[in-house]
Structure 1
Amino acid sequence: MPAHAVDIGLPELTATRKSNFLLPILFLPPPKREAIETIYAFCRYSDDIVDEEADVKEKYRRLLIWTSELQLALQGVSRYAFLNRLVSVIEKFHIPTHHFLDLLKGMEMDLMKNRYESFEELEQYCYRAASTVGLICAEVFGYHHERTKEYAVNLGIALQLTNILRDIKTDAKKGRIYIPREDLRRFGYTEEELLSSTYNDRFCELMEFECQRAREYFKKAKRCLAEDDKPLFTAARAMGNIYYLLLLRIERAHYDVFTKRIRLASPVKFLVAMVLRLRNKLPKNFHRYIRTELPA
Structure 2
Amino acid sequence: MSTQLDVLSPTVTLRSGSSFLFSFFFLPREKREAIFTLYSFCRLTDDIVDAPAPLEEKVHRLSRWEQELKRSFNRSVSNSFSTIRQIAERFHIPLDYFLELINGMRMDLFQLKYRTFDELKLYCYRVASTVGLMCIQIFGYRDPVIREYAKNLGIALQLTNIIRDVGSDARMGRIYIPSEDLETFGVNEQDLLAQRYSPQFFPLMEYQARRAHRFYQLAEENLPASERRNMMVSEIMKNVYFHLLQTIQEKHYRVLDQVVRVSTPAKLGITLKTVLNNVWR
TM-score range, shorter chain: over 0.9
Cα offsets for 1:178-223 (capped at 9, x unmatched): 0000000000001111100111220001000000000000000000
Matches of 2:74 and 2:107, distance apart in 1: 26
Q: Which runs of 4+ in 1 moved over 4 A?
A: 4-7, 10-15
Look up the match of 1:291: none
Where do 1:1-296 residues align within 5 Å? Answer: 7-10=5-8, 12=12, 17-18=16-17, 20-78=19-77, 80-81=79-80, 83-282=81-280, 286=281
CA positional deviation for 1:14: 7.8
**Equivalent-residue separation in structure 2 for 1:6 and 1:126 (angstroms):** 25
Preserved contact between residue 69 and residue 79 of structure 1 (Cα < 8 Å): no
Post-superposition CA distance 1:49-71 (Å, at most 9, x none): 11111111111100000000000
CA distance in 1, matches of 2:25, 2:208: 31
Residue identity matched to 1:23: F
How far apart, CA to CA, are the structure 2 residues paired with 1:130 and 1:55? Answer: 25
Letter in 2 for 1:54: A
C-alpha distance in structure 1 between counterparts of 2:3 and 2:123, whole Å: 32
Residues 119-171 of structure 1, C-alpha deviations (whole Å, 9 max, x = no match): 00000000000000000111111111111100000000000000011011111
Higher relative contact order (CA 8 A, sep 6+): 1
Please report how far the alpha carbon of residue 111 of structure 1 lies from its aligned counterpart in structure 2 after TM superposition: 0.6
Gaps of at least 5 residues in structure 1 are 287-296
TM superposition shift of 1:18? 2.4
| Unaligned residue ranges in structure 2 (runs of 5+) | none
Q: Distance in 1 between matches of 2:134 and 2:18?
A: 21
Matched length? 278
Identity of aligned residues (%): 42
Tell me how far apart the structure 2 counterparts of residues 174 and 271 of structure 1 sit (CA, whole Å). Answer: 34
Q: Per the alignment, do residues 34 and 185 of structure 1 end up closer, same or farther by CA in structure 2, a change over 3 Å counting?
A: same
